[in-house]
Amino acid sequence: MKILFYTPQSDAAVWLADLQRVLPEADLRAWQPGDHAPADFAIVWRPPCDMLAGRNSLRAVFNLGAGVDAILALERERPGALPSDVPLVRLEDSGMAGQMAEYVVHAVLRYLRRFDEYAQLQAEHRWHVLDPHPRESFTVGVLGLGVLGAHVAQAIASFGLPVRGYSRSARRIDGIATYAGPSQFDTFLDGVKVLVNLLPHTPETRDVLNAGTFAKLANGAYLINVARGAHLVERDLLDALRSGRIAAATLDVFREEPLPVDHPFWREPRITITPHSSALTLRAESVAQIAQKIAALMRDEPITGIVDIARGY
């Protein structure tokens, strides 16, 4: 069994060592330009076009992340960059769901208990008790109900807050009011106090966090974006903050990363910034998941996590 590996990150050697440990029988090699030798599987993160193009004999391509927007964008820009009829497999959870739930729950509770405003009062040396937000109307809306989104929605609901979720196709989750499809999008947004974005990045979801979306939320709503920076129209958020339509935002992802030092988000005190760290890919869990799926494919057994190329996730 021959496995081709590529990541532009500096820890490639560590990934290779861990993969070799769980797949000792594999002939595992790091791809280099000009390498056209046969392979049975490819494990990649942001691969160059020349790596996968024409490798139609591969049994699967494994993406080292839950988000596949970068590799699908490569295919849109350079048709044929992905080998035809070869399944593209994304990571499922691999330790990310728990991290994402911690991050989002922290942000939601911070706004619910108004700790962001207390921090400002502390900076001003002011002792002042703020009226709490009414829990019954502090509705949290989760955009995207995949593995991560469903886990986040349930984690928030465990605190007794009203939670609703939106997805492209119908989903049923205990304790969560669910909405599906464009015809229910406005109904989902109506009255939401905290909007959490966990949508996949596709051409259809690009710029979904815009002035029109913000206008349908409860006045003085909060935004938490942990999906992709391309979902957010940045100027619309700044305008909504100035008008009071949006009270504050927690952003973990940005159109340009690292966020440029002169970006206006740095100067807006109502925006909390983290460096794309809400849910990190955990190497041990990811390696184990990929190894299990390779073993299943070698036994001609079905696997989960195969990307629908047309949908983009």
CB 180 within 8 A of CB 171: yes
Catalytic residue among 59, 114, 206, 276: 276
Distance from C-alpha of 162 to C-alpha of 262, rounded to nearest angstrom: 38
User: What are the residues whose beta carbons fall under 8 Å from the beta carbon of 260, sequence distance 6 or more?
Assistant: none
Give the active site residue among 228, 245, 283, 311.
Answer: 228
List all residues 6 or more positions away from 96 whose beta carbon is below 8 Å from its beta carbon.
66, 148, 279, 280, 281, 282
Give the H or E element holding residue 112: helix 96-112
Annotated active-site residue 263? The verdict is no
Cβ neighbours, 10 Å, residue 105: 17
Please answer whether residues 83 and 61 qualify as being in contact, where contact means their C-beta atoms are separated by less than 8 angstroms: yes
User: CB under 8 Å, gap of 24 or more: what pairs does 202-207 form?
Assistant: 202/69, 202/72, 202/311, 202/312, 202/313, 203/312, 204/312, 205/231, 206/230, 206/231, 207/231, 207/232, 207/233
Q: What are the beta bridge partners of residue 62? A: 43, 89
Place of tokens 């490639």: 12
C-alpha–C-alpha distance, residues 144 and 171, integer Å: 10
d(CA 223, CA 250): 6
128 is catalytic: no
The residues facing 91 across adjacent strands are none
User: Mapping DSSP to helix (H, G, I), strand (E, B) and coil, where does residue 238 land?
Assistant: helix
Mind telling me the catalytic residues?
228, 276
